[in-house]
Amino acid sequence: MAIEVRIPTILRTYTGGEKAVDAEGSTLSALIDSLESNHPGIKDRLVEDKGAGLELRRFVNVYINDEDVRFIGSLDAELSDGDQVVILPAVAGGAA
């Protein structure tokens, strides 16, 4: 089961410069583990453990077929063959 994952500029150091890579998994969690096995180090940029198990980092957005995964189960969001996953870092900041 191949799922195309679009990689943002800032994470392309992990994919040898590739803008999109294939990964596998029936949930976002599993997909991230699959990414990690081919591109070591990338997982830590996407998830963190704040004491209650792994969660998506606050300033990382992941979309499955145009939908923000935070609205469809976050790391438990389900994936099917042919889905497209897009990773985008938040554009955020400010004086605080």
Partner 1 sequence: MPGERGRRNTLERVLRIDQATYDALVEHAKREHPVEACGMVVGPIGSDQPVRHVEMVNAAGSPTFYEYDSSDLFQLYKEMDDRDEEPVVIYHSHTATEAYPSVTDINLASEPGAHYVLVSTREHGNNPGPVEFRSYRIIDGVVTEEEVTIVDTVTPAEESS
Residue 57 near residue 47 (C-beta atoms within 8 A): yes
Return the number of other C-beta atoms located less than 10 Å from residue 49's C-beta. Answer: 8
Q: Which amino acid, 90?
A: A
Nearest residue to 77 via CA among 65, 88, 89 = 65
Size of the site for partner 1 (CB under 8 A): 19
Name which position in 15, 27, 61, 74 contacts partner 1 (CB under 8 A).
61
Nearest residue to 35 via CA among 80, 69, 2, 71 = 2
Q: Does residue 8 belong to the site contacting partner 1 (CB under 8 A)?
A: yes
**CB nearer to partner 1: pick between 37 and 44:** 44
| Contacting range for partner 1; rule: CB under 8 A; set: 29-37, 46-54, 55-63, 72-80 | 55-63
- Min CB(33)–partner 1 separation in Å: 23
Q: Does residue 9 belong to the site contacting partner 1 (CB under 8 A)?
A: yes
Q: Does residue 83 belong to the site contacting partner 1 (CB under 8 A)?
A: no
